[in-house]
Amino acid sequence: MIPVPLPDHERRRLAAAIAIIAGVLVLCWGLHSIAGRTPARVEPGTPIEPPVQSPAEPPARSPGECVTEPPDRPVDGTPVEPVGKPAGETLAPMLAIILDDWGYGVAGTKEGLDLPIPLTMAVLPNGPHSRREADEGRGRGHEVILHLPMEALSTDHGVAAPEGTITVDMDTDKIKRLVEEYIEAVGPVSGLNNHTGSKATADRRVAGAVAEVAAEKGLFVIDSRTIGNSVLAAVAASAGAPSAKNEVFLDNQRDEDYVKSRLRLAATLARKRGAIISIGHVDPVTVKAILEMIPEIEEMGVTLVKASRVVEALNVPVMNLADPRLK
């Protein structure tokens, strides 16, 4: 059969039809390729599943797992407070480390001041270097509190009471006068905690006199808890001074591995309860253990903060109730 040539207008229509069919085929192939990369085909009208809610507590992380960046720290090493989160968000667990017994130029003083964390330094008032060490700490951005010597039971580790210790046989006015004098001696402080005090912190009148001065001066009170029946935190609360208790003594044994295990315990408690105070001493062993534990504590999702930050977190309900705007 001899093919009959098509007229021009028929050839143009045929060419146009072929072009349209080719175009449709290319489009279908493209859509199919895209669909192949889509994990799940969503039918129109299918409700979209909500994202999985993050738990209130961060999930447990094993060492070496990917971690988020620690809070910003200026390059010059000056510690800073973590930036507060907006109301309603769960705060990251926080741990405050207080180092006691500053003011005597003991071994570990320089290394302690150099710690690249928001440290809280509890400075004894009558040491030969009390004011200088307090000033140096403040200059480096650490928090400084008064480490108030209070009378111990005779069985309290056999520690000799430093000169000027607050004793239960002092009258209330003398106690108040001494506390004020000591606050002046250490310089601007944001709070106080007790040095020894297994006898005096269990005495309601003596602890009350200390707490009243703290409340008048706008200072917080940390009960070091050198004895179980201390009433210092309780009387501070009734006097109107924000307060908190020491939860973990870090260095009852002067051994690096022991101190590290105590820091691990404190960080674990912070994850369970949110905000924790721990207390150690200015000492080369304690300071070295803290320095080496910083990455592990941060990997646990625990932020190291000053004591005032923990006090603030623990006293929020009290402060809110005291706010006249909320009444």
Pairing of strands 191-196, 143-150: parallel
- Given the complex with Zn ion, which of 100 and 298 has the nearer CB atom? 100
Binding residues vs Zn ion (CB under 5 A): 100-101, 195
Helix and strand counts by DSSP (H, E) for the chain:
10, 8
CB of 229 to Zn ion, least distance (A): 19
- Euclidean distance between CA atoms 94 and 87, whole angstroms: 16
Cα angle value 164/165/170 (rounded, 5°): 95
**Encoded tokens for 29:** 């192939």
- Given the complex with Zn ion, which of 195 and 225 has the nearer CB atom? 195
- Given the complex with Zn ion, which of 100 and 299 has the nearer CB atom? 100
Q: Where are the beta strands (DSSP E) in 103-157?
A: 120-123, 143-150
Which residue is closest to Zn ion by CB? 195
- Euclidean distance between CA atoms 104 and 239, whole angstroms: 32
- Given the complex with Zn ion, which of 197 and 242 has the nearer CB atom? 197
CB of 209 to Zn ion, least distance (A): 20
Write the DSSP string, 228-239: TT--HHHHHHHH
- Euclidean distance between CA atoms 18 and 6, whole angstroms: 15
Sign of CA dihedral 267, 272, 277, 280: negative
Write the DSSP string, 116-162: SS--EEEE-TTSTTHHHHHHHHHHTT-EEEEEEEEPPPTTSTTPPPP
- Euclidean distance between CA atoms 10 and 136, whole angstroms: 97
- Given the complex with Zn ion, which of 135 and 156 has the nearer CB atom? 156
CB of 277 to Zn ion, least distance (A): 14
CB of 195 to Zn ion, least distance (A): 4
- Given the complex with Zn ion, which of 94 and 277 has the nearer CB atom? 277
Cα angle value 155/160/166 (rounded, 5°): 90
CB of 224 to Zn ion, least distance (A): 7
- Given the complex with Zn ion, which of 196 and 303 has the nearer CB atom? 196
- Euclidean distance between CA atoms 148 and 167, whole angstroms: 11
CB of 260 to Zn ion, least distance (A): 21
CB of 134 to Zn ion, least distance (A): 15
